[in-house]
Structure 1
Amino acid sequence: MLRKRKEVLIVLCTIAIIMMIGIGIVSPILPHYARSFGVNIAMVGLLITGFGVARILVDIPAGRLVEVLGRRPMLIAGPALLGGASFFCALAKTYPQLLFFRFLQGLGSGLYTTAAMVMLADISNVRTRGPMMSFYQGAILIGAGLGPTLGGYIADIWGIRAPFIVYAFMAVFATAWAYFKLPETKSPKTVREICDDISIDESGDARPGATFMGSILKLFEKKEFLLGSLVTFGIFFTRTGTQNQLIPLLGADRLDLSASLIGTVLTVVTIFQFLALLVAGRLSARLPRKILITPGSVALGIGLALVAFSRSYWSLIVSAMVMGTGIGLAGPVISAYVADTLSREEYGIGMGLYRAISDIGFVVGPVMLGWLADRGGFSTPILLNASFVICIACVFHIFARETAR
């Protein structure tokens, strides 16, 4: 049984690497591709926001679908939709077409990510969940790290539309890999559980799925689930708001760094995140979750504060090291913590809602921090981000109970 679970984990990680390489392949050319349609910078940003909004919209329905249809169909449909949308992104003739197909990419990404998190919860227990989540997050980082470099070379050799074509073929491969290699991990429902999903209205007619909203509302009553989701919201808020948006702008405007040096700073964040993931994965099997989550979140906040006060390239590098370490320690363990708070019957809806809350941070971060930076410079929004993350860590540590001892 353990060997089978490890095989499923390896397949999920392989697909994650392929998917993240694909996302990374298009990231360096996406702004330039959008500008080729004659749009302004705000419309370029809308392509990223639209992708995130699509994920938010599909996260919770995907959680429901994995319970009704199973994990495997969603893990096949997600990459398939991504592949088709990527192909049509390459063929787009107008900006609205490109925006629409980017939205479809977000839907495919949301389907896959939610189903993958649920399957990881299925094949793990309290002792193995932390290491498995860390291993999976490490695979995501590997793919994300390889993608941008490949995308730049592909665009230089074959043109600016080529990365989307390559992404489409990679998604097709991921779809086939999921189809042939992934088993179904959803437990068959008992007659009683199926009946619980059907309520009777006043006319006496059965209404399937009437408990869907009730299941969501029940999750909002779980303090530990909400606190864990809030920590992840803060991490996603930071990744897109400060890490991917304000740090590059600060490096260019305040420190006059070249694009390559800014890229090096972001790479340092990823490297230290990966190293911390390895440590967190090993420790999470033996230590309580909060011992890793709280220090990791505080370290992230300290790293952000150091970014705000950076006045040289090397001080920014040190800040990136601290940030990456914090994200790596807290990120995968908080996912395991949230899964711990759910019963097996709640995995689908629970992980869908968890992903939706995370993706709200993904979308809100760049908009809010960018707006603040336009009005008060870089230091104020980054320090507010740091304070927010540290406050969340303190609230989590004080009020959340431990789920693994």
Structure 2
Amino acid sequence: MKRLLPLRSAGSRADDGAPPMPGEIRVLIGSAFVIAIGFGIVSPVLPAYARSFDVGVAAASAVVSIFAFFRLAFAPAGGALVTRLGERPVYLTGLLVVAASSLATAFAQDYTQLLVLRGVGGIGSTMFTVSAMALLVRLAPPTIRGRVSSAYASSFLLGGMVGPLLGGALAGFGLRLPFVVYAAALVVAAAVVWLRLQEATPVATGPGDTAAPPPMRLGEAWAHPAYRGALASAFANGWCNFGVRVAVVPQFAVAVHDGTWVAGVALALAALGTAAILPRGGRMTDGLGRRPTVMLGLAVTALGLGLIGWSGSLAALLVLSVFSGVGAGFVNPAQQATVSDVVGNDRSGGSVLSVFQMAQDAGAIAGPVIVGVVADRAGYGWAFTVTGLVAALALLPWLSAPETRPAPAGEVAAG
């Protein structure tokens, strides 16, 4: 087996005595920031670009949805590829697939081409998402998995906040330019990962290669109550924070407060709430435990989004937006660390991780559709109440789930 070559820098050891964050993970975190900026660049212009092909609102929305649909549909194949080929080649291939898709999108000649090319991008997105998770699982020291997960999530969040600002500025030079810039950003990220991780991660060369870690079967993970809890919270997290927050909260803000600026401020405050709490959520995950942290996050999410539809004042809307964002900051690192604990550093978790990602994507796709139907028939108050109930129901599997956090060396010695 190839030896992992550490890329650690001096002074990288945490002040609390925790092991240092491996340099390989720092490279992945930096790459995630670049990827998120690129995705954010195209997000604000994609609907307008689709409308430029003389299609309606529904067709323009389908261009956004098909990316998530193909992510969900290709997730099982992505997990199988990680198990068979290894994390690094699948990660790099996924980045290049999305880059090629984005570049081709910039030169799409009609709506059908645009729709197909965005779907192909969703396939590549699944490839690098699942393989990145697999790398984080295998490379992160068990006692800092929460902090690693929060750092990785923070890089995506911050990149996603910077990207739309750049995208709006680039759109002034034409709706096609942001897609070219996105493609270039992905090529840069792929080049950095290829150079810095070329010998840092073992790559299987064949079925008998001992460099390939043994795969964990999905049935093994499913037998663990904590994994089932993580699937429930992933679905709720996708429904609440990647679906309803992005698609329904802005519509509610505009409908009630009659101003598109309110929608932007509400989303920005939710993102700030998540960004502010993610580091603390990571430390709580590693210190207090995965189970109490994710349960706290689900409870906060349920209250914040469950009540937001009944908020009559602008101040209440904005406060609840921040509050619900805080919930996401607790949920994300805790559930990711739980899945990492279940898989372990010495196993390949391609299929296990792909199903976890599928649960989150399924929630993100189903949430806005179902909540939108409820809003049309019963009003926004009941629509967001349903969202709160989804987060609350996700707590139930965690009530019987064991804590998976490895005991620090000091606790083991004391015990």
Q: What's the TM-score, normalizing by structure 2?
A: 0.88
1:322 counterpart residue number: 323
Amino acid at match of 2:393: C
Q: Distance in 2 between matches of 1:121 and 1:196?
A: 12
Amino acid at match of 1:358: Q
1:377 counterpart residue number: 379
Deviation per CA, 1:141-188: give whole Å up to 9, x if none: 1111101111001001x1111111111111111121121112453476
1:180 counterpart residue number: 195
Any conservation in 2 of the 1:306–1:316 contact (CA below 8 Å)?
A: no
State whether structure 2 residue 12 is matched by structure 1 residue 3: no
State whether structure 2 residue 270 is matched by structure 1 residue 265: no
Amino acid at match of 2:174: G
Q: Distance in 2 between matches of 1:303 and 1:195?
A: 44
Change (3 A) 1:399 1:309: same
Q: How does 1:56-205 map to 2 (within 5 A)?
A: 56-156=72-172, 158-183=173-198, 184-186=200-202, 191=208
SS at match of 1:311: coil
Any conservation in 2 of the 1:124–1:132 contact (CA below 8 Å)?
A: yes
Q: Distance in 1 between matches of 2:282 and 2:336?
A: 12
1:361 counterpart residue number: 363
Q: Distance in 2 between matches of 1:221 and 1:383?
A: 32
1:396 counterpart residue number: 397
1:51 counterpart residue number: 67
Amino acid at match of 2:248: L
**How far 1:40 moved relative to its partner?**
1.8
Any conservation in 1 of the 2:241–2:328 contact (CA below 8 Å)?
A: no
Any conservation in 1 of the 2:25–2:140 contact (CA below 8 Å)?
A: no
Change (3 A) 1:333 1:187: farther
Amino acid at match of 1:289: R
Q: Distance in 1 between matches of 2:203 and 2:38?
A: 32
Any conservation in 2 of the 1:241–1:370 contact (CA below 8 Å)?
A: no
Any conservation in 2 of the 1:372–1:380 contact (CA below 8 Å)?
A: yes
Q: Distance in 2 between matches of 1:61 and 1:276?
A: 34
**How far 1:356 moved relative to its partner?**
1.4
Q: Distance in 2 between matches of 1:186 and 1:327?
A: 33
Change (3 A) 1:192 1:94: closer
Q: Distance in 1 between matches of 2:211 and 2:150?
A: 34
SS at match of 2:257: coil
Structure in which a larger fraction of residues adopt helix: 1
Q: Distance in 1 between matches of 2:320 and 2:278?
A: 18
1:281 counterpart residue number: 282
Matched residue count = 387
> Which among 386, 389, 394 is matched to residue 387 of structure 1?
389
Any conservation in 2 of the 1:293–1:333 contact (CA below 8 Å)?
A: yes
Q: What's the TM-score, normalizing by structure 1?
A: 0.90
Q: How many percent of aligned residue pairs carry the same amino acid?
A: 28
SS at match of 2:248: helix
Deviation per CA, 1:262-314: give whole Å up to 9, x if none: 21110111111011101112222221111211111100111012311111211
Change (3 A) 1:294 1:55: same
Of residues 304-313 and 113-122 in structure 1, the stretch that sits farther from structure 2 once superposed is 304-313
Q: Distance in 2 between matches of 1:121 and 1:287?
A: 20
Any conservation in 1 of the 2:290–2:335 contact (CA below 8 Å)?
A: yes
Any conservation in 2 of the 1:215–1:349 contact (CA below 8 Å)?
A: yes
CA RMSD in angstroms, aligned pairs only: 2.3
| Misfit runs of 4+, over 4 Å | 186-197
Deviation per CA, 1:338-386: give whole Å up to 9, x if none: 1211243342221111111211112111222122222222111210110
**How far 1:190 moved relative to its partner?**
8.8
Any conservation in 2 of the 1:75–1:178 contact (CA below 8 Å)?
A: no
Q: Structure 1 regions of 5+ residues with no counterpart?
A: 198-211
> Which among 243, 246, 259 is matched to residue 244 of structure 1?
246
Amino acid at match of 2:77: P
Change (3 A) 1:337 1:2: farther
